[in-house]
Structure 1
Amino acid sequence: MVISASKNALARRGLLFILSSPSGAGKSTIARMMLEADPQLCLSVSVTTRPPRPGEIDGTHYHFIDEATFHQLVEDNALLEWAKVFGHFYGTPKAAVKQGLREGQDFLFDIDWQGTQQLYQRAEGDVVRVFILPPSLEELHRRLRGRNTDSEEVIASRMARAQDEISHWDGYDFVVINDDVESCFTKVCQILQSERMRRARQTGLIDYVRDLMNPTDRP
């Protein structure tokens, strides 16, 4: 499913679309599918202090920086949100996101509940929060083992963290169970499309309705 913009689309303010889930529940897969299907959506590229994984490109997947640089960004209030996860720091640069929102750009965030909470506190009206649940903890454990990227110790740590993350489900606007990736993807896309149509985000509506109702401007 490829989503195309309408030729008659009104000017609108962009939005911050958050996907959160326990590790292994599918948010990264859904995020990748959305980015491939929707040219109006771009990934918010976070800064992080963790080393790049195989295949990751600096500036595309993350901005990889050292801890001293990260702490300076925090001190300068240059991050919309930040958190420490599994021993590494992650954060969202503020300037590029604020500019993009004004220009109608939608940003996709693949962040945890801590980052979501911070982002919502700072940009409440621009934020849409979606939490993805696994069909069961047993299935979540199976998916984590199926990656073949983590030790049993790391998997156990992720499972323990998963239950804590799931406990914050009620801090989100929408909750979707990922028992089938295609179905989950469709539901999340429907949420995005609906949120784009909110009256408050369509900044071009006032002029459009004014012209529509003014008979002197009609041919």
Structure 2
Amino acid sequence: MGRVAAVSGATTGAGAADAGQSFDAAHSALVADRSLQFAVETPKPPPPPPDWLKGLFDLLGGLGPVFIVIFWTGLALIVLAILWLIAREVIRIRLPQRHTPTPPGEENWRPAPAQAIALLSDADALAEQDRFAEAVHLILLRSIGDIDGRLPNTVRPALTSRDIAALHRLPDTARPAFNRIARVVEASLFGGRTVSRGDFLECRQAYEAFAFPDAWRAA
């Protein structure tokens, strides 16, 4: 019985030794395999920034509070500017103009001579073709343009020629000339009256009187 136990123990010890040798051999083979990596490589630290860049970062870091103040100040100015624009528009819409602008002086309103000559030349060209109605209509439109250019915001689209002639801002000395032109045009457009050469000459002379400073001297 004791012999069997001794043999069994020897067999067990030999098996353990063989197993240990097999593990060591497997471990050695695993370590020797170049395709496997067991060591962890520590990355190299990045190089330190240059001194000038470090100094710049330090400077910007010190100016951080100043930048915050500048940011909020700029934001406040933008908000105030927006509020001012809104308030100005509200005031402009809610409060009409308190002061009626006075008619400009004769040196400011007088049309350029070349402009007046060009108009009369165009009207004469229409009259030479016996298109007298178109010629006087052209003179009327230019007269209205003169009024609107010298007295802004006076002539509105809904106003008729008669309404424009009745405007209190229209100088009394210019009113008769404009009335003559408007009367001929309205009789042609709404009354079906034929415009003659005499009507055209009357309107032409009226425009000349209307365009020169003497017609506005009493404004």
Q: Same fold (TM over 0.5)?
A: no
- TM normalised by structure 1 equals 0.21
State which structure, 1 or 2, has the greater radius of gyration over its C-alpha atoms.
2
- TM normalised by structure 2 equals 0.21
Q: Identify the structure with the greater helix proportion.
A: 2
Pick 1 or 2: higher relative contact order, CA cutoff 8 A, min separation 6.
1
Q: Identify the structure with the greater strand proportion.
A: 1
